[in-house]
Amino acid sequence: MSVQERLGQYLSEQALCNPHDRILLAVSGGKDSVLMTHLFAEAGYVIGIAHCNFRLRGTESDADETLVYQLAKTLGVPFYATAFDTEAYARQHKVSIQMAARELRYEWFETIRTSQDYDYVAVAQHQNDHVETLLLNLVRGTGLAGLQGIQPKRGCIIRPLLFLNAEEVGREVKERGLEYRDDASNFSTKYARNKIRLEIIPQLSVLNPSLERTIATEMTRFADTYAVLQTHVTAMRSKLFTEQAAGEWHIPIAELISLEPQRFLLYELFKPFGFTEAVLGDLARALSGVSGKQFLSQSHVLYLDRDEVVLKPCKAIREEMVVIGKPGDHVQWGGHCFQSDCSSDTGIDTATHVAQFDADLMVFPIRIRSWQEGDVFCPLGMKGRKKLSDFFVSLKIPVYRKHTVPVLVNGNGDIIWVVPYRLDNRYKITGKTKKVFTLARS
């Protein structure tokens, strides 16, 4: 079977694309991407060519772009090119050159794909890249997900050459007499991936001359195993996680303690929320301890609360502060709407959603914010000052809900209302009150 026939079979087996799809080809000018371009052109696909100049090799990078441009011109297909200051991007975002180049090119590919109405972006990675990715992931430690290597299809990115190894690519390019360019940086062992390609894989191939195909087969098994695992974990998550508010999940601590193997399943259950193994290890050790502890990822927070673990998005922890600039202003904070008013009617409104204050004591602007460490106020009906944290404890408000309670702060810094629980005694209506400032919460 020819390489062209094998490509058609692979595209069909992996459901990568259909003959009528428009494919944007990511072409660097190397032998892999040049071969991919010719294969897709011969198969009759509607294609375009996208090339990134990362400005890392001076005139060599420019020569790569010229070759790819000539290839597009010869085939009569659209050519899209861009240039990046990759080193500046890497410095600014504090990432490696390789990661910078990856982020830049995939963001640009998606821009071209959507703006020019292509269905997929095709990247010319082959089996050797597959093997390198697996070994790199093993060295760095990425868990079971990393054992799948490179996925043939992820979103709108397809990798149609994963059925070929580097030797087969080289042989096909030579037989076809295709012109390509080598990137000298691919032969430098200062990069981890190159070191694996040039030094480690050749040694492993001594033990198994069919290393690429063997590992590719094993990675397919890993991927199937991982899919089965995720089905099990998804069902377990649906059973254990109870959504009690938008984005707020409650999980029984007893169920988490009984998991076996516990740390492995904790990681799989909470991995979609960005928690690392180290943080979940701390959670596992704390499950039988006192409540109140919290564990953070970049996007979410876990709270221990008596017999439950509560999972919430970080953005839900603390709302942005808003201000009431003058009587009559209407504002919104954390799902609460506040309507203000000022009048000479000194009658008492006992509704829990309404707070009334002596207007002459108000200092504008009045702020609405979350609880902060060290907050104190003088609760109506109580003597002296009380820490807001102690007040929450007396009301049995869980630690994870403290930041969702609106706190109204007078312009002089005094807390005047912990909504809807208690007003401050210093600002209540008295017999001397002439005007009343009213806040109604809905």
Binding annotation for ATP: 28-33
Choose among 357, 358, 390, 361: nearest CA to 375.
390
Hey, is 86 helix, strand or coil?
helix
Rounded CA separation 194/199 (Å): 8
What is the DSSP secondary-structure string of 181-210?
A: ---GGGG-TTSHHHHIIIIIHHHHHHH-TT
Q: Which two tokens stand for residue 11?
A: 């595209």
Rounded CA separation 95/101 (Å): 10
Choose among 263, 291, 290, 288: nearest CA to 278.
263
* C-alpha Rg value of the chain to the nearest Å: 31
Hey, is 425 helix, strand or coil?
helix
Strands 46-53 and 79-83: parallel
φ/ψ region of 396 (left if φ > 0, alpha if ψ in -120 to 50, else beta) reads left
Q: Which two tokens stand for residue 28?
A: 């660097």
Q: Which residues are annotated as a binding site?
A: 28-33
